[in-house]
Amino acid sequence: MRKLGLLMLLVCVGLFLTGCPQTPNKQAKKPEVKQPVGGEKAAADKAAADKAAADKEAADKAAADKVAADKAAADKEAADKAAADKVAADKVAADKAAADKEAADKAAADKAAADKAAADKAAADKEAADKAAADKAAADKAADEKKKEEKK
């Protein structure tokens, strides 16, 4: 057992002293781009220019689409606000119409009450006048009878 322990110790010390094999610090190599020659270079330049133009056109289209979407959203918001304003104005108009109708109904009721009071007063005045006339007629009759009796 001691021999095994010593052997293990020697192996560990040996590994420590020699070190573990390390990988060299290498950077990843970029693939070499083969430089085109002559006509190939012109074709590559044209392809790059075409791609740049297509990219710019796509960016311009995306920007235009965004502007159109923003305008549509603003138009929708304005339409919604206008609809809400119209609803509010309609409600105000309906409330005013209801208040006007209520005021007209109250005025009509007040006029009807005044007319009834005037009619009642006229009836009472007529009744009082009739009673006064009846009383005068009775007094005149009594006076006539009294004169007749005095003549007798």
Tell me if the pTM is above 0.75.
no
Q: What is the mean pLDDT of residues 95-109?
A: 96
Asked whether the beta carbons of 36 and 43 are under 8 A apart, the reply is yes
Q: What is the mean pLDDT of residues 89-115?
A: 96
In angstroms, the Cα distances linking 49 to 43, 56, 93, 96 are 10, 10, 65, 70
Asked whether the beta carbons of 44 and 36 are under 8 A apart, the reply is yes
Tokens for 96?
A: 């005013």
Asked whether the beta carbons of 64 and 56 are under 8 A apart, the reply is no
- Residue 93 pLDDT > 80, yes or no? yes
In angstroms, the Cα distances linking 94 to 18, 77, 80, 105 are 99, 25, 21, 16
Q: What percent of the chain has pLDDT over 70?
A: 86
For residue range 36-46, list pLDDT tens digits in order.
Answer: 556 677 788 88
Rounded Cα–Cα distance for residues 124 and 128 (Å): 6
- Residue 102 pLDDT > 60, yes or no? yes
Q: Tokens 């549509």 map to which residue?
A: 72
Rounded Cα–Cα distance for residues 120 and 76 (Å): 65
Radius of gyration of the chain (CA): 59
- Residue 17 pLDDT > 90, yes or no? no
Asked whether the beta carbons of 52 and 46 are under 8 A apart, the reply is no
Question: How many residues are recorded in the chain?
Answer: 152
- Residue 141 pLDDT > 90, yes or no? no
